[in-house]
With several copies, the nearest count.
Chain A
Amino acid sequence: MSWTADEMMTVAAARALRGGTRCFVGIGLPSTAANLARRTHAPDLVLVYESGTIGAKPDRLPLSIGDGVLAETADAVVSVPEMFNYWLQPGRIDVGFLGAAQLDRFGNINTTVIGDDYADPRVRLPGAGGAPEIAASCREVIVVVRQSRRTFVDRVDFVTSVGHGSGPGDRARLGLRGGGPALVITDLGVLEPDPCDRELVLTHLHPGVSPEQAVAATGWPLRLAPTVSTTEAPRPAELAALRALTGSAEHEERT
């Protein structure tokens, strides 16, 4: 069964979620991965959406964070202030799933502006949303993002959400209580912060991806972990569940 790089990325992200985990989910790839995990190995995964739905159990992929199916199937629906104040801020959520327009070597994230001048940006992006506080307060953060030199930059143009700041101890100094990015899952492989200096290093490559490809798609001199493992290819059951979720029977050949 063949699969696309995006499917590999989504499957890898789903696998990173364990059963019982409380997961703060954004729409798009994170939501697909979290729902896939719930359909496969982690049926008791707790999906929390910033729209206020706690323990949503959608039978189809929600198309927005405020999809009616989330409210209808949730254990509880709370107001948005309550979601941020009572549930996210005190550290009740295990995993925050984030995307990024830019990501730097310490896992800091930009979703605000591209360009040096905030007042006159080259590209105006949507902005912060819930991300800064998700990045601050979840026990750990998983970033799901396609890897390219445009995205994986030496220094983000704007720090929307703090990863490991500029290195060890920075999160503690800032008073951020969550652990920050633990995994960055891309269409090429997986990056994890070095235990000592917190710089993201390549720890996994997806099947068929070379280290050179990953290095070439990274805007800083990407370090490889002492052992770089190969991700297990998507299993047929995983692919079937994913495609049932996304409703796409068609799929591209992986190039």
Chain B
Amino acid sequence: MIVTLAEAVAELVHDGDTVALEGFTHLIPVAAGHEIIRQGRRGLTLVRMTPDIVYDQLIGAGCARKLVFSWAGNPGVGSLHRFRDAVQHAWPGPLEIEEHSHAGMANRYVAGASGLPFAVLRGYTGTDLPRHTATIAPITCPFTGETLTAVPALNPDVGIVHAQRADRRGNVQFWGITGVHKEVVLASARSLVTVEEVVDELTPAPGAVVLPAWAVTRVAHVPGGSHPSYAMGFSERDNDYYQHWDTISRDRAAFGRWLEGLTS
């Protein structure tokens, strides 16, 4: 149940898989993303509400074939230059995109976690998104006749998140901003949770969510595994790094040097 990060990625993530690394600003599994780059995965469909630095890195490193997302930016800083370079200039390769809103993505994970093929929301109406995204469809309420919007379930092959703690049996606990953590783990065929610490026994904490070990495929002990994101109670968000990434990522050569540093 508890394995090394390298073992977990080798076992769970295969070329061509649909992979979701989630964490809404908080508890982003960045180290796991780096391990996917190191192991040289190719042709991935990457799913994430808010592709940020780690997805910029995965895209720039050539791991991705397609991106499913709702907001791709460097939060508080600006653009994702590797993402833009891929979309605007197909570098290092073409990147197909499937674009949604946050409400749509969140509900797609909910449907996935619920074993339903689709979710219903009030969303997208009047926007240009449905003209470019095939996975948005109208649906009629059988009781009122009102038209709403349906989006299909997301069921990634692999869902990956970072969390504060696990116990030795693999029960996982996280707190603070929990985002879509529970949904992505439950929606995915396989799941990996990287954790700050492994303890003998989980103790209850306010706002804490617990995922039982049997709902998680693998746990890896990766202290600091969410840097430059943070793990409430363990680390602070490294805002300087987000700024710093802007400089690295603007330039293909600078990015190349960063990538070499990561993989060598």
Contact = CB atoms under 8 A, between A and B. Distances in A.
Grouping DSSP codes into helix (H, G, I), strand (E, B) and loop, the B interface class, with mixed when no group exceeds half, is: loop
A130 B101 contact: yes
B186 A51 contact: no
B76 A162 contact: no
Contacts of A72: 232
A43 interface: no
A41 interface: no
Nearest to A21: B214
Nearest to A133: B103
A53 B210 CA distance: 12
A126 B83 CA distance: 10
B107 interface: yes
Interface residues of B, number: 66
B126 A159 contact: yes
B203 interface: no
Contacts of A91: 115
A175 B115 CA distance: 13
A65 B75 CA distance: 8
Interface string B108-127: 01100111100001111111
Interface stretch (A74-82, A194-202, A210-218, A224-232): A74-82
Interface string B18-55: 00000011100000000000000000000001100000
A79 B83 contact: no
B122 A77 contact: no
Given A55-B212, A68-B237, A121 B122 contact: no
B70 interface: yes
Interface in B118-157: 121-129, 131-132, 146-147
Interface of B: 24-26, 49-50, 69-73, 75-76, 79-80, 83-84, 87-88, 99-103, 106-107, 109-110, 113-116, 121-129, 131-132, 146-147, 171, 176-183, 186, 207, 209-212, 214-215, 230, 232, 236-237, 239
Interface of A: 20, 22, 27-28, 46, 50-55, 63-68, 70-72, 75-77, 79-81, 83-86, 88-92, 112, 118-121, 123-133, 136-137, 158-162, 165, 170-171, 174-177
